């Protein structure tokens, strides 16, 4: 809960994420499944999103394998989508009062 003298700072990033197909048996939870996948693959560029999906930064990754790995996931129904990430931070206008000490209570 915010006080009237608090501010909320917002930063918004536009980018891309990779989302996978959802099984017909999981239609009830489709949004949660897509969000879970998108969180770990969000990137400011399409290349950055695919890099996270194919784990390009793993040790031993062969750069010559990049297009094959992207094709592997694409063939299985994973798609690049536009995504927006919003971060909110509460900024207090005045410092919180010091906690009461035992002397303050007497």
Q: Bridge partners of 19?
A: 79
User: Does an H or E element contain 74, and which?
Assistant: helix 66-75
The Cα diameter of the chain in Å comes to 73
Each domain of the chain, given as residue ranges in start order, spans 14-92
Least reliable range by pLDDT among 24-28, 44-48, 75-79: 24-28
Q: How does pLDDT run across 56-94, given as a tens digit for each residue?
A: 877 777 878 888 899 999 999 999 999 999 988 877 666
Q: Distance between CA 32 and CA 28 in Å, rounded?
A: 9
The dihedral built from the CA positions of residue 67, 73, 74 and 75, taken in this order, carries a sign that is positive
pTM above 0.75, yes or no: no
């Amino acid at each position: 809960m915010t006080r009237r003298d608090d501010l909320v700072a917002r930063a918004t990033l536009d980018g891309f994420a990779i989302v996978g197909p959802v099984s017909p048996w999981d239609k009830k939870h489709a949004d949660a499944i897509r969000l879970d996948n998108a969180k770990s693959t969000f990137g400011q560029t399409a290349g950055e999103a695919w890099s996270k999906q194919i784990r390009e930064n793993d040790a031993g990754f062969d750069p010559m394998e990049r297009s094959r790995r992207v094709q592997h996931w694409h063939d299985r129904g994973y798609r690049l989508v536009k995504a927006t990430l919003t971060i909110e931070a509460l900024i207090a206008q005045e410092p919180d009062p010091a906690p009461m000490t035992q002397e303050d209570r007497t």
